[in-house]
Amino acid sequence: MLTEDKRLYVAHGQNGPICLYGKMANRHGLIAGATGTGKTVTLQVLAETFSEAGVPCFMADMKGDLSGISQAGQMSSFIEKRCQEFGIAIDSQPSTLNSQPHPQPLSRGRGEEKPLPNPLLEERGKSFPLGEDLGEALQLSTLNSPLSTHFHGSPVCFYDVFGEQGHPMRTTISNMGPVLLSRLMELNEVQTGVMTILFKVADERGLLLLDLKDLRAMLTYIADHAKELTRTYGSVSSASVGAIQRALLALENQGADKFFGEPAFDIMDLLQVSADGKGMMNVLAADKLMQNPKLYSTFLLWLLSDLYTRLPEVGDQELPRLVFFFDEAHTLFNDTSKSLIDKIEQVVRLIRSKGVGVYFVTQNPTDIPDSVLAQLGNRVQHALRAYTPKELEKLRAAAKTFRANPALDTEEAIKELATGEALVSFLDEKGTPSIVERARIVFPLSQIGAITEAQREQIIKSSRIYGRYDTMIDRESAFEVLLAESEAAAEAPAPASSKGEEKASSKEGSGKAGKAKKGIFSKIISAVITSVTAALGTYIANTVTGSKSRSKESIGKKVTKSAVSTATRTATRELTRSILGNLVK
């Protein structure tokens, strides 16, 4: 909800409304808590309040729940109870989407222009003692004049990387770059180096890398030219190329072929504002995308990096230009190299000056590296469950991230928080973190829960970018250029020198074959003569000495048999040696 002085009314504590200052919204934030404690509703409340203020948002919808932000909410017993506790009046205006011509700030019902007072300081002059029921405290902290608002939805644009539940979001291989692409494919340092060489060669040759087939064609190219590339850029081993090709195949099987290509998504389409001045809610359907956490986190990191690269410097403004919610933020930092974490820290630190606020959503603050966590000034901490020593250690660490409140045991409070309750600390108008307070999150004015497929389809077709990204374009790129070069090389006639070399080689080969045949024949004749001579010598010696032979065969048969046997053995041996020698060569 939006207050009269343009503050974002997010939660209600013992001292009244807790608001986020628009000027401090680009100082980033954190929404943390265990599963089922209300993180998604908190995200929805923040997003729709930004929308009322005219600030577009980007968020990933893990379960389809956030699609309800497009429809007006309805009164329930839960909301009715919260209205009484917070001092909010729901008026009878029609609850249709975008029914107001301009963002309507909350009024106090009497047309007064004063900032919201702190009723406890004015009426009671004291703080509540620790342990007093929060519900009773909230009853006493309501305003004398109730805030007035109505249920409404926000303008929404649905996206889906796979193009099934929203407009397709694509990028090109070149835009992704070698570092993020290597992270997506889980390549090691050596393989990342080969990927960097691939991009360098493609740039030098002017080859466009648009989709996965372009990347595959370039891998084949650098494998075929590995020797000459190694002399210029360093080692390009066949093992590394093979590993990248296998990773590419796995990536394609996960549906990444739909993510890479043209028309590439224009990041400026995230900055839309509706005709009635409300910020567009850009909702990414991520239920299927989250089946591959690496693809999900790398995709969002690419979006963030592209925003940082393309948006101009604007400095501190009354409100941010865009708020980026990074749900399941732990996937961004799991198995991430130190160099890439440093890059993320740099982007988060500097993108503030581009007018972008980044809000990480995760279960525990310790999921985020300290260097990044230190940049998150606005924090909402829902309940954490701790049953093991390691979980207790994480809970204590989470409690220490807040500015201490002498009247509140932060560590115990985190364990006791009910669903919808949170510990809240926002930056004040001077940029100083406020003392942590225990509070209840304001209810959303839009629908809680998913919308129907028919409603989603209607919103998609009524979008101003409908049809812009729906049809994939396949123009000439690295794949087509390299394929044409390969076909031209295969069809080209061989040079004259090559023909001469072939003839010489043929003559040389036939000469060697002839010599080999003559050599084998001479060895056979020599072996036969030796065998015949030995048989005749044995016969003569037996005749002279009078010795009788055991064999009844005549001398002619013996000589013939010995000659044939010797010739056969010699021919077989020489032919075998010749064949094996040729195979080795």
**CA–CA dist 289, 281 (Å, integer):** 19
Same domain for 229 and 343, yes or no, is no
Backbone torsion region of residue 32, taken as left when φ is above 0, otherwise alpha when ψ lies between -120 and 50, otherwise beta:
beta
Same domain for 73 and 145, yes or no, is yes
Per-residue pLDDT at 266: 94
- Bridge partners of 168, per DSSP, are 160
Per-residue pLDDT at 330: 87
In a domain, residue 466? The reply is: no
All residues at 6 or more sequence positions from 291 whose CB lies less than 8 Å from its CB, including other chains: 254
Same domain for 233 and 290, yes or no, is no
Domain around 524: 496-584
In a domain, residue 469? The reply is: no
All residues at 6 or more sequence positions from 346 whose CB lies less than 8 Å from its CB, including other chains: none
Same domain for 247 and 266, yes or no, is no
Name the strand (E) or helix (H) holding 29. Answer: strand 29-32
Where does 492-554 have alpha helices with state H?
Answer: 496-545
Same domain for 438 and 558, yes or no, is no
Domain tally, the chain: 3
**CA–CA dist 440, 418 (Å, integer):** 9
CA angle 468, 472, 477 (to 5 degrees): 120
In a domain, residue 60? The reply is: yes
In a domain, residue 472? The reply is: no
Same domain for 142 and 30, yes or no, is yes
**CA–CA dist 309, 356 (Å, integer):** 12
Per-residue pLDDT at 416: 92
* Number of residues written out for the chain: 585
**CA–CA dist 84, 475 (Å, integer):** 61
Enter the tokens of residue 376. 């998150």
Same domain for 22 and 145, yes or no, is yes
Q: Can you tell me whether residue 306 is helix, strand or coil?
A: helix
- Which of 420, 453, 487 is the endpoint of a domain? 487
**CA–CA dist 96, 348 (Å, integer):** 37
Enter the tokens of residue 176. 């992704």
Per-residue pLDDT at 444: 94
**Residue 459: closest CA among 94, 96, 155, 49:** 155
**Residue 119: closest CA among 14, 40, 193:** 14
In a domain, residue 302? The reply is: yes
Task: Evaluate whether 154 touches 69 at the Cβ level (below 8 Å).
Answer: yes
Per-residue pLDDT at 132: 43
Q: Decide: residue 535, CB within 10 A, 0-12 exposed, 13-18 middle, 19+ buried.
A: middle
Same domain for 206 and 276, yes or no, is no
Per-residue pLDDT at 569: 62
Per-residue pLDDT at 71: 94
Q: How far does CA 81 lie from the centroid of its chain?
A: 41
Same domain for 317 and 198, yes or no, is no
Same domain for 135 and 206, yes or no, is no
Q: Decide: residue 252, CB within 10 A, 0-12 exposed, 13-18 middle, 19+ buried.
A: middle
In a domain, residue 145? The reply is: yes
Q: Give the C-alpha distances (Å, rounded to integers) separating 130 from 405, 408, 435, 482, 495.
A: 11, 6, 15, 73, 93
Per-residue pLDDT of the chain (585 residues; tens, 9 = 90+): 887 666 789 999 988 899 999 999 999 999 999 988 999 999 999 999 999 999 999 999 988 889 999 999 999 888 888 888 888 888 765 544 443 333 333 333 333 333 333 333 333 333 333 334 544 444 444 444 457 888 999 999 999 999 899 999 999 999 999 998 998 898 999 999 999 999 999 999 999 999 999 999 999 999 999 998 988 888 889 999 999 999 999 888 888 888 899 999 999 999 999 999 999 999 999 988 888 888 888 888 899 889 999 999 988 889 999 999 998 888 888 877 777 788 888 888 899 999 999 999 999 998 999 989 999 999 999 999 888 888 899 899 999 989 999 999 999 999 999 999 999 999 998 899 999 999 999 999 999 999 999 999 999 999 999 999 989 999 999 999 999 998 888 887 766 555 555 555 555 555 544 544 555 566 667 666 666 666 666 666 566 556 555 555 566 666 676 666 666 666 655 555 454 444 333
In a domain, residue 471? The reply is: no
Same domain for 443 and 455, yes or no, is yes
The CATH number for 431's domain is 3.40.50.300
Same domain for 452 and 340, yes or no, is yes
Per-residue pLDDT at 546: 60
In a domain, residue 79? The reply is: yes
